Chains A and B, each alone.
Chain A
Amino acid sequence: MSELILARIQMASFFAFHILFAVAGMGMPVLMVLAEGAFLRTGKAVYADLARRWARGTAVLFAVGAVSGTVLSFELGLLWPRFMEFSGGVIGLPFALEGFAFFTEAIFLGIYLYGWEKVSPRLHLSAGVMVALGGVLSGVFVVSANGWMNSPAGFVLEGGRPVGISPLSAMANPAWKSEAIHMTLAAFAATGFAVAGIHAFRLRRETGNRFHRAALVIALSVGGAAAVLQPLSGDMSARFVARSQPVKLAAMEGQFRTERGAPLRIGGLPDPERETTPHAIEIPRGLSLLAFHDPDAEVLGLSAVPRDERPDPRPVHAAFQVMVACGMCMAAVAFAGALLGWRRREAFFGRPFLLAVSLCGPLGLLAVEAGWVVTEMGRQPWIIHKVMRTSEAVTPVGGLALPFVFFSLIYLALGIFAVRMLRRELAESPSFPGEEG
């Protein structure tokens, strides 16, 4: 395996690992604050217990997210020194701001976790709100850097170096808005559904358990609201990509030919050699309609660019399909949940709906991973869109196999233990017999 491939796999696994914890760091604080808010409003002990358990889960996830995020900030330089040499002075600012958002999250999480008996209820709840705010802001800032890689801005290229640098324009790059909204909603949907899935699973055995019922309602409200909004943000993102990164869109859709009235492909296996995507269900003019809101719009195909400037459409198309499918399922379940909760309360806690929620539990996290495959592999061969190739950015240091194996083992172990701890925390079924819900 070449060093470039090793570096890419290593970076990809760092991100794949970190993003699960980062997403939880954005979503979990919102859940725990809502539970504590419900406790302060109703005085029911079940909500206090829920807030404490969610907070402990947040603590473990946040700790692993914090250290794996630190690893990433260093690995950017260790694996991609040319990239950092070029871009540090252009897009470093959001990282600095993210540092402060992250500080906010850590400080107030410390107060929240260890301060139940030490600060007033109001300060405690506000600390939780600050944790949630810090979590969302750090995500939003970090995504700005990724947006810049997709739509570089704020500099002029001169002799291979960036000059005339405007850090604010770089930070406010065109892709930032749609990516930040998409990622934030994804974090809420993924966390909400993952947590709701766990409690729905338990409720199928212990139908009346108030703890799991309370947890399910809060988690599904957050996850469901985000899942229903996500298609709107997805539409915004797709239309942006269609204009600014048409090659990525072509890879996402398995579109090889440049044509007007391009079809939307569901499924299918892109064949880069023959430049076709067989076995797909094609909806005529669907892609042109979705990407440009015009059924006759021209969609660029992969064939329009030289082979060495094309991403591999196979993983990108597949990951895109997975992401959209997961999102659709979650949005559908969220709609059903809202209807049931509104019209037929008992059916909400009935077995069919609980089964649907449990099955949707992992889909949000799966969609997040798939979405990152789309945006990262879809940008290849560029590390900075049309500015720097990934192969130009990689470190000259050899022997990357060793750290890769080393970190993979560490992360594997950490992942397993973190999951085991969360299972213990979330899967217990404390009972609150005295309270009527």
Chain B
Amino acid sequence: MSSKTSIREEMLAAVPKLRAFAISLSGNVDRADDLVQETLLKALANIDSFEPGTNMPAWLFTILRNLFRSEYRKRKREVEDSDGSYAESLTSPPEQMSKLELQEFRVALAKLPEEQREALILVGASGFSYEETAKICGCAVGTIKSRVNRARTHLAEILSIDSADDLGPDTSIRAIVVNNRR
């Protein structure tokens, strides 16, 4: 197997995580997939700048994030659905209750400022360390820690503020947030 092939296989293996991140950035599955494809092509075009044996996913995430910021932000602003209605278009197979909770969570997440959202996703979902996340986002570790903390606080607030809506009284996040505030 050529080293080129093994690098491509490593890239392919990172696709599911890249998609998950791209969906949370762009708020749209189709656009996320385009973003992932551009990322792979750009990575292959710049493969010489990748040092074999270093963190391939982190490298790809950095490329994806930069692509998103340079090309997609304007487009995103044009079609932004700040009410999080994109979340409703995402289908999720599990049982009804968890689907409802997850949807509510997605909508809340979509309301976070972008920098907080990406930091929270990278640390809390993608599984990167604070240090790796700081590299991906091109900022200090302390900045990432504070963004993640603000994101969590912000999310808890959003989920609590929304507690009067019609999604039902007993989703676990809301119950905990509301209890915590009494």
A and B held together in a complex = no
Instruction: List chain B positions with a Cβ less than 8 A from chain A.
Output: none
